[in-house]
Amino acid sequence: MTAIQIIPFQRLVGMAAAASLTIFPLGVYADAIGKISFTTDAQSIAVGTSSSQITLETEDVNGVPVKGNTVCVQITSSSQSGEFSTNTTWGTDSIRTLSLTIASNQYRRNFYYRDGAAGSYSLSAKAAIKPGETCTTWSPDTGVQWTATQNIIIGSVSPPLNEESSTQTNTQTTTTTTPSPASAPVSSYVAPPEPQIFADGGENRTVIVAADTEFLARAYNRNKETISGNIRFSWNFGDGSTGEGQSVLHHFEYPGKYAVVLNIADNRDAASDRIIVTAEPAKLAFSTYPDGSIMIENHAGRDLNLSSWLVRSFGRVFMVPKDSIILAGETLRIGEKTLGFRSSAETELDYPNGVLALRAGTANEASDSVKANVAAASAVAKPRSIPVSAIVVQAEKERVVASIASDVSDVTLAMEEIATDSDDESGRSAQTASVEEPGSGGTGGYMWWLGALGLAVVGTGAVLASRRALKKEWDIIEEKEG
């Protein structure tokens, strides 16, 4: 007969708890961290020089990198003159004991070592899960969960060839688990190379819709020194268009914010940069004055750069010089002498690409005018096929307009000469008034007024004809042979 042993419930719970402690050691239970390891090979360096990068990693018992807990690490050297640094820029203060924190979203930290005394030394790392809010309150005296060691040779000293030293090289131990060094696989991770080239596309900026803006690129190295040579510069302006070159001109057809991306590349490296460009309508007012000058008013609420904008009148063009900036709320007035021609009611202000922006006496405040300018810009960008007959008609119209403009100029000159003669005649009349007989009326003034009236009629007709030609109201009939 088989005896049945009855075990109390409390004893069963105790046995289960003991089993769980046996199966799950502390390191494995803490997000499967089983040890810390040096993943880089032992190094031999010259006295006083920096080592290559040394990497320390949190792994499971099989040597696979794991993360999940914040780990506090303290690294020391068996040499009294050894120094540590987290980067290749060594400070003036010597760090004899290096404290590191491996965050919960990381599993690896890097550092560098140098020593002023030749010899073979051992680097020792001690680690534990963060006990409180930060690792500043932890020290190996409060408890160590994992340790790892690695040899480093300074100068030409050969490391001692004995079983103990060979076991220390690339060997890690832990306080909770003791896996065999031979069972840990070598990590295949290779750190990416540090970038050697950097791109700079300039600062974020605000530009005017439909106005060309210069984009200037720069390539530089880790020392912030500009790089020249065989470098390719590629631009993506974020509006469907691209460009090539270190310096390019581009205009945005619609208002909005655009992410402009610069990509650069040489034979080995590549880099990119991104800037934000805000395209706004041009809030300007354009006026002409009787003295032949023009005035541009800035209503944008910020400084505007009108470099290469155009002032156009009857085929004459003035280009606004580079870096011509109108301050917010201020005006730019340009005289007839600077323009090279006399402004009129037909004078217009154009974008740098030749598209009409404003006519004299108008302001560009509303979005409707912006849309009209954008549509005009799109139309200019696409060539149209023009029939030969239309070209002939247009040429004839331009010839007629030029002829009429010449006649108007002649009439103006003639009237100025008449005015001069009138002044001279008045002077002569004043001088001879004392010898003129009473009752002699004189016909000089009467004839002058009659001539002036005739010239005024001719001038008025010429101006009306000029406006009719400008409005394209001439009818030109083409005769067909046969």
Interatomic CA distance for residues 71 and 135, integer angstroms: 8
Q: Give me 270's structure tokens.
A: 């590549």
Q: Give me 94's structure tokens.
A: 């010597």
With cut-offs at 50, 70 and 90, classify the pLDDT of residue 210.
confident
Q: What are φ and ψ of residue 379, in 5° steps? A: -65, -40
Report which residue type is found at 294.
I
Mean pLDDT of 309-326: 92
Shared domain check, 334 and 297: yes
Q: Is 178 within a domain?
A: yes
| Cα→Cα distances 373→210, 211, 254, 351, 377, Å | 8, 11, 10, 9, 6
Interatomic CA distance for residues 470 and 316, integer angstroms: 15
**End-of-domain residue from the set 264, 280, 296:** 280
Q: Is 68 within a domain?
A: yes
HSE (side-chain half, CA atoms, 13 Å) at 3: 3
**End-of-domain residue from the set 263, 280, 297:** 280
For residue 477, the model assigns a pLDDT of 52
Interatomic CA distance for residues 231 and 219, integer angstroms: 8
Return the DSSP state at 263: E
**Greatest C-alpha distance within the chain:** 175
**End-of-domain residue from the set 355, 381, 407:** 381
Mean pLDDT of 92-103: 85
Over residues 411-463, the pLDDT tens digits come to: 455 555 545 554 544 444 333 333 333 344 445 555 666 777 777 777 777 66
Q: Give me 296's structure tokens.
A: 């541009």
Interatomic CA distance for residues 37 and 43, integer angstroms: 15
Q: Is 452 within a domain?
A: no
Q: Is 455 within a domain?
A: no
Interatomic CA distance for residues 152 and 75, integer angstroms: 13
Interatomic CA distance for residues 425 and 301, integer angstroms: 56
Shared domain check, 365 and 311: yes
All residues at 6 or more sequence positions from 320 whose CB lies less than 8 Å from its CB, including other chains: 306, 307, 308, 309, 310, 311
Mean pLDDT of 135-141: 83
Shared domain check, 390 and 376: no
In CATH, what number is assigned to the domain containing residue 56?
A: 2.60.40.3450
All residues at 6 or more sequence positions from 124 whose CB lies less than 8 Å from its CB, including other chains: 75, 76, 77, 78, 147, 148, 149
The proportion of the chain whose per-residue pLDDT surpasses 70, expressed as a percent, equals 64
With cut-offs at 50, 70 and 90, classify the pLDDT of residue 324.
very high
Q: Is 424 within a domain?
A: no
Q: Is 350 within a domain?
A: yes
The domain total for the chain is 4
Q: Give me 254's structure tokens.
A: 């619609």
Shared domain check, 264 and 157: no
Terminal CA-CA length for the chain? 136
Over residues 141-180, the pLDDT tens digits come to: 888 888 999 999 998 654 444 444 444 444 444 444 445 4
Helices 388-432 and 444-470: crossing angle in degrees, nearest 10, is 160
Q: Pairing between strand 213-216 and 171-174?
A: unpaired
Shared domain check, 298 and 155: no
Interatomic CA distance for residues 438 and 142, integer angstroms: 133
Shared domain check, 317 and 274: no
Name the CA dihedral angle for 346, 352, 354, 358, rounded to a multiple of 10 degrees: -30
Q: Is 447 within a domain?
A: no
In CATH, what number is assigned to the domain containing residue 334?
A: 2.60.40
Q: Is 432 within a domain?
A: no
The proportion of the chain whose per-residue pLDDT surpasses 90, expressed as a percent, equals 34
Determine if the pTM surpasses 0.95: no
With cut-offs at 50, 70 and 90, classify the pLDDT of residue 90.
confident
Range of the domain at 336: 284-381
Shared domain check, 165 and 45: yes
Shared domain check, 316 and 263: no
Shared domain check, 82 and 130: yes
With cut-offs at 50, 70 and 90, classify the pLDDT of residue 329.
very high
Shared domain check, 251 and 209: yes
Shared domain check, 124 and 45: yes
Shared domain check, 49 and 165: yes
